[in-house]
Structure 1
Amino acid sequence: MNPTLSLLLCCQLALYGAVMSKKVCGRPHMPDGIDEMGLKRVYEIGEQVNLGCERGYTPGKAKTATITCTASGEWSKLDLVCSPKMCQLPKPMQKPGVTEVPYKSVLNYTCDYGYVLIGANKSVCLHNGTLSAPPPMCAAVNCALPKAPIFGKIVYDDKKFSGHETRYGQTWTYECFPPRAPIGNERGWCLASGNVTEPPVCEEVSCSIPPTIENSVITFAVMRQAGYNEKVKYQCKDHYVMEGSDEIQCQKTGNWSTLPICRAPCKVNINRGRIFYNAKKIWIEDLKPNRVLHREHVVFYCLNKEQKCGIPVASQCFDGTLNIPECFKEPGKTEYHLKPKSLPSEIAMCPLEITN
């Protein structure tokens, strides 16, 4: 090797080693919110950097906002804390404990189904603590007024409705003039699409002559075919109990609504004994007339032979039938007339058994 070239190479290596052995600090790593503009990649020992918060952040109570490159090549401790500015949430979006959002937050707005958004669909929290756009409005979709069916009319649910348009959520009823009935939608409303429901077709409907119901009479009707919505009223004969509505109505199907039933009273079929009926004890011969109405209860008394006490057992009248409990034993004539106080209805009642 050339001596001159060798000497030059050694000098360069020595200089490189001297430079590399010198301590420096790299670009400091900053937490969120601190302004990093103007920071260098390398700093000499002893160099200082004055820091501050970037736009949209507020400094806390820091002891120092200056850091120094130390002899170890590390930066001194930074006490500066920068907190993002906060924007007040619109009241409809506020929740318990959540009334603000930090800088750079994005609020996205949407409206419920059937409503149209008027205004910006989003807003950003700006550096000055205000939102970039006010909250929008949500307006109901408007629909043209519905058309009444031929031979019919429209009855709005909102009795005070007026105007040339309806809005989403408004409802109404389509009605036909008797004896016609609505075939199709009877209820109407403004749809989210801006359209309204189609009106029904009003067709003539008739029902057969009012049917007869056993043990009843028709109190208000003309015995003829009836038109849609016409009514017929029934009344049960004395002591019969009606189940169902006392009125039937001609429906749009051409059939009458459900017919009521007149349920028959019951007779207490014992000759001797005492019962509990209508909140009092009654000897059977004193039950005049011997009649219990449908669904009413009668209590009979049975004998517990082991404990020698009475057991009350209830039975219910159902459409003319009143079952006598199997445990009930009708007393003989002698016992009934000469020893009535020994009957199960007159002795002490058995204690009630309580089960868990």
Structure 2
Amino acid sequence: MRTVGWNMLILTFASLASGQAPKDCSAPVKYPNTRLETKYASREKFSNNEKVYYSCDDEFVAYKGSRAVQCVNGQWTKLSLKCEKGEVTCSTPAVVNSVQRGDDVSVYRVGDNLTFTCSEGFQLDGAQVITCDPSGQWQPQPPRCVPSPDDKIPPPPAGSCGVPQTFNNFNGHLADRFTTKTSFSSGAKVYYKCDVGYAPAGGRKSRICNNGKWTPLTLKCQRKLCGSAGQILNGQILYSGAEFGDTATAICDDGFIRVGHATRYCMANGWSGRNPVCEVVVCEDPPEVRNAVRISLQEELYRYKSAVRYQCRSGTLIGEREIWCTKNGTWSAPAPECKEITCPSPNLPNAYWTGNHNQVFQYRATIYIECNVGYVMTGRSTVFCERDGRWLPELPKCQRRNRLANRWG
């Protein structure tokens, strides 16, 4: 147990030893990057031993610590929950023959924008402004800068080459130092690079202008491999793949709850962020029920499948006698109630009853009804007090024997 917990216990024992009742707590404090769960926000007073729970602010994720603090003799235990800013980023996109406007960084955060303008002799094919989305991808897709119509670009001199073209799905681009030129003399050599997230997989990186024609481009660029994203305790990782652009999603086992981002993205420099943690599900302390006792063991933490049984000291138990902590961290049913259920006195004309002569007839009370001499019963002689306060079956009737005889005659 942590030092803080021992200090709180010492305070409680000291209070009890002095004959003073444990103190209640005022509203708990605000911690950085966290918020108190909504159901506690409007309250100003909390009873001794009561727990309250925190969660992380938007755009922050929990990566360690407990969400709960507890009132112990007028003081709150310290919150150990730590919330960090999300780490999803986008790499700089490569758009050949373009000038991009934005922060001069190599990694962009969610919500950052980039604006593209094509170099002279090229025109934009696609969106001019793109945004880094929460999945670590640019939306919409980065544009291309394609050559302007021929009448806008002066033809190269005889024997020279124009801008070297590439084929679709190449996943590479012309090296930056060649992107501003529109004409290359015979014998000139240009070089290519693979796009962000791709790596060379064979072929030559260069092409040569040979009497007005470019030699074939043989460079092949394949998606980078991120490999394994690691393992998590009490859960598993599901992969869409392990190459650039793929995802690895953490799924916790039943009875465990994820703390941290579920999905990681295979990026140019490896998997984004870090794996979440699967923490055991813990339910709040089971509610107290008036006039009832809990006949299960008191637990410091009520984990997944922990069960609690209630027994009424007086009255009738209405609801589920046993509730348990579900995999969602909630109790399987509301706490039951102990109600005093009674049935009205069976004041039947021309009759009397045996079996129970109390003034109050509680649930399950049984009486036996008999008619006075000279009267005949219509209905059942034994009735029970049901949970809705009615006698079942319906109370019988006692009628004079000669009246019945005349009716039947």
Query: TM-score under structure 2 normalisation?
Result: 0.38
Larger Rg: 1
Structure number with higher strand proportion: 2
Query: TM-score under structure 1 normalisation?
Result: 0.42
